[in-house]
Each structure stands twice: as structure tokens, then as C-alpha cells.
Amino acid sequence: MKEERGQFDQLFNRRHERPGDVFMELLEKEKLVVAPGVYDAMGAHIAQEIYRQRKRNSLSCNFNAVYLGGWSISDMLLRKPDMGFVPLSVMEMVGRYVIPEAYPLPVIMDAETGFGTEVTLGETVETYHRIGVALAHLEDQDSNLTRRCGNLGGKQCVEPEKMAAKIRSWLIVSKSIGTSMRLMARTDALTAVNGGIEDAIERGKRYMDTDYQGLRPAVLWADAMIDPKNIERWTTELHKHDPKMILGLNYSPNKDWTGYYRKHFNQYPPTYETLYNNGDGFRVIWHTILQARADMEAAWNTFQDMAENGAESLWKLHERQRHHPVGDTQAMSNAKPWQAYEQLIGGEEAIKRYQNSEGYGAGSSQQKDQA
């Protein structure tokens, strides 16, 4: 019975009661939170499975959270640029499936400009709380224009007072509903038409000083940060303002960090350790579109191979995946626990049905090879 309960835990018991507290406790314990970016439940599952396997084998893992952003959802699910095409309802739907698959890793999730005004964004706070977001980020782009990916041109920020009002509204709703979800304030001022590094610094101070009954944003992020001079000035000035301030960095796969650092500084880009800088730098780091870039490359190469070589491309795919964890696609879809649950609920009738219907490929040579 105990084994049976454990088997079905992975179907139904995959949620932190207070995910924001889990995130902050993780940050306190490990000092640095690193998150690969995903856009669907499979990406989240792969991340947590690798994390679990390494922990089971007493190996270190360089990530301990998952990031879910609007760019990846817009680009991979809609093939639209990150320019406001994804509504709250789609973010909710994707997040509702990603968060259980990421468990026990906490999820950092993009809340864009709040999907509303400072008065109406309470719906976003409640939605993100309900699906189990650990840390949500809210940005200061002007929603009256087309809000966009921080790496795209044409950005404009709202007045700092308006963003401070949105932050305060978020905090009020958070306090009212008792959510553990933390807020990360984001400024796009660094590369906005009406911004720059000095403006970003002043905005960051103001945003993090915004308070409601002792509740403030937990993390600060300035998007599109890559230049080491800006990194140094940003971290120095913000920690001078508040030595305990937690800073986050989008180590964005949209940017060619290696090429940029090689061309401009004749050196490798920063490591997690150098960005952390003994706690004086960034303590939350994520790669927004990591899964998206990896998946696009894999699909392109496989389809290109099929265009040139036909069915041989499928054979080669099977050979590559024969002993790879993703080679058992039914296992990747979590079919076995669900089928076991179906037989538990369906009883003798369901068990006999399974005994008389093995399913496609049940005795295939590939599965035998994998066994």
C-alpha cells in the first residue's frame, strides 16, 4: 500500500504549499539560485528529473529552480514575437502544467507588465498564486505601447511613479490573500528610449523601497544587462543603497555572450561564480529561452536530415536515442503510472483489457534493446 501511494504521488502530489517560502529558503541555504528557461511541461520535467538524478547520486547540480517566460511561450507556441501577443489566460494555462512538472524545483514566472493597470493587476496576483508561482517578475515597460522582449528595440518605460504604484498594488493584493509568492521588480530602463544606466539605478532603488505594511519586492532585475561596466556599476550602487538587496540577472540565451565578450574584451563571459561575486553580485540567475533555443536547433537539424536523407533520418534518430533517457517516449509522457492508476480504478475489467492489448510496439526490438 505504501509503495502504491508513492507511485501515485507523482501524479497528484506535486506542489509546494508555500512556494515563495521554498524559494527564499533555497536562496538562504544555497546562496545562489540558477534556473534554466523552459516553455512547456516536458522541459520542466526534464529539468527536475536531471536535478533529482544528480541529487540521488550525490552529484552537484548547477541549477536549482526553473524559469518560465513570455518570450518562449510566444515564440514556441504561437510563433509570434514577444510583443504582447500572450494573454494572462495562456500564461496561466502553461504555468498550470509547468509548475507540477518542475516540482520540487520552485518556478520563477514572467508576469510582463501585470496584464492590467495598477488597479486591475490583482487578478494576475491571484492567478499566479493559485497555480503555485514562487517568484513572479513585473516590469516597467509602457503598456500603452507594444510591450516587448527586453532584447528588442523600441522600448519605453512608464514614469517611475506609475511603476511604484503597480508594485504597491501587487504588494497590497499579496498581503490581502496571504500568498507566499514573492515579487521581482524589473526595470527595462537600461536600454529604453527614455532610460540609461543612471535611470535604471534610480528606478531600482525606488522600486525596492516601495513598501506596504513591511512587504517589499524580494528581488531586483535590470533587463538587457551584459556589459561588465554596467554590471559592476549596477551591483555596486544598488548594494551601496541596501547591502542586503537581492539582485537577479537574465543570462539571456538571446544574446551571444561568448561572441560579445570575445570581441569587446578578449575573454570568456562570466561564470555563475563571478556573477555571484561572493554575494556582492547577483544571487538569482536564469537563462530565459534555453529550452526554446535547444529545441529549435534539434528540430531544424532533424528535419534538415529528413529533407536530405528521408527515412534514414528516423533510423539515425532511433540510434541516437536508443540508450538515451528520452528514448522511451511513453515513459517521458508518464504513461506507466497513469496506466497503473487506470487499472487500480478500473479493477479486473481494466486489468484484463491490458492483458489482452499490449499496445503498439510493446514487444518491439527497440524496447527489448532498451531493456
How much of the chain exceeds pLDDT 90, in percent?
Answer: 88
Overall pTM > 0.75 = yes
* Domains delineated in the chain: 16-288 (3.20.20.60)
Q: How far apart are CA 364 and CA 329, in angstroms?
A: 13
Do the beta carbons of residue 213 and residue 250 sit within 8 Å?
A: no
Residue 1 reports pLDDT greater than 80? no
Taking only the tens place, the pLDDT of each residue in 20-48 is 999 999 999 999 999 999 999 999 999 99
pLDDT at 5: 52
Give the pLDDT band of residue 361 (cuts 50, 70, 90).
low
Taking only the tens place, the pLDDT of each residue in 295-346 is 999 999 999 999 999 999 999 999 999 999 999 999 999 999 999 999 999 9
Find all residues with CB under 8 Å of 232, minimum gap 6, and list them. Answer: none
Do the beta carbons of residue 194 and residue 157 sit within 8 Å?
A: yes
Taking only the tens place, the pLDDT of each residue in 130-181 is 999 999 999 999 988 778 888 888 899 999 999 999 999 999 999 999 999 9
Residue listed under C-alpha cell 490581502? 176
Do the beta carbons of residue 265 and residue 228 sit within 8 Å?
A: yes
Which of 40, 39, 22, 38 is CA-nearest to residue 30?
22
Find all residues with CB under 8 Å of 16, minimum gap 6, and list them. Answer: 22, 103, 104, 106, 132, 134
Find all residues with CB under 8 Å of 327, minimum gap 6, and list them. Answer: 318, 321, 366, 370
Which of 2, 15, 152 is CA-nearest to residue 75?
152
Helices and strands per DSSP (H, E), number in the chain = 16, 8
Q: How far apart are CA 335 and CA 329, in angstroms?
A: 9
Mean pLDDT within 79-98:
96
Taking only the tens place, the pLDDT of each residue in 208-263 is 999 999 999 999 999 999 999 999 999 999 999 999 999 999 999 999 999 999 99
pLDDT at 371: 44
Residue 197 reports pLDDT greater than 50? yes
Q: Which of 189-193, 310-314, 364-368 has the lowest mean pLDDT?
A: 364-368
H, E, C per residue of 1-20: CHHHHHHHHHHHCCCCCCHH
pLDDT at 4: 54
Residue 369 reports pLDDT greater than 60? no
DSSP string, 261-319: HHHHHSSPPPPHHHHHGGGTS-SEEEETTHHHHHHHHHHHHHHHHHHHHTTHHHHHHHH
Do the beta carbons of residue 68 and residue 39 sit within 8 Å?
A: yes
